[in-house]
Structure 1
Amino acid sequence: MTTVHGRKTVVKLAAIDLTQYSNNSQLEITSDTHDVTVYGKDAHLFVGGLLNGTATISGFYDSTAVNGPRAAIKPMVGTVVKLTHQPEGTGSGKPQDMVDVVVTKYTQTHPVADMITWSVDLQFSDVVNSAPQAA
């Protein structure tokens, strides 16, 4: 089994590289299910439906960056932008997921005894393109 360290992950939102501000990201690809159980069955029968998904990116607040996460993401809330997620970093043939997303929520957390952090919640708005990175 070959493993890849998460430190190589690259995340971009609307072509803005958030990698240097991020320390966690998650993609969740789901589908609808439809109950097609008929009379006489002892268990449910299901079929798949439309694809769906969400993503979350989070990291540390940067007070010096005019184009840091706060400045970049807050104006995107409620809009559709492109998400690019590259779990093994950049490079020809490496995996990536690209999808249009609705930026649904930007959050800042201000703990009294720790660093300020941020997160953004994203709702997929089309099919995920998982073609490997081009040269």
Structure 2
Amino acid sequence: MSESPNSIHSANLIYENEIRFGPAYCRLELNGQFLSDRLFGQKLKWSPCSTFLALEEWLTTEYVQGPQTRLFLINVEENAYSEFKQINKGFVKNVRFNNDNIKYIKEFPATGNGIEAEVEISKIKNWCQLGL
């Protein structure tokens, strides 16, 4: 279990299964409620202010199609989420918060390449209700 820095919220990644020749994927329990119909990688990151929770969402568990992932950002105060651009054949790595920005690496294991991405959180417009 991962507690937010202010100890008000909690998140737990519950092992679901593994892809063939690959890592495990999990379900998310947030503040005691499960987020249905979504799968995540094994790491999560709280923002220092405890407002945001970042995860790597898995869009498929099919070996031949994957990996297909994206950064998934939850605003726990607003009960909302934002889905970032899909990463084809890659993973989300090294997520970190820096003031109003979120930074992460789009890692592509087949080529060994990684691309750093940075987004200003206050400029995100595609927030949707989480439904918890």
Normalization by structure 2: what TM-score? 0.29
Select the structure with the greater relative contact order (CA < 8 A; seq sep ≥ 6): 1
Structure with the larger helix share:
1
Structure with the larger strand share:
2
Normalization by structure 1: what TM-score? 0.29
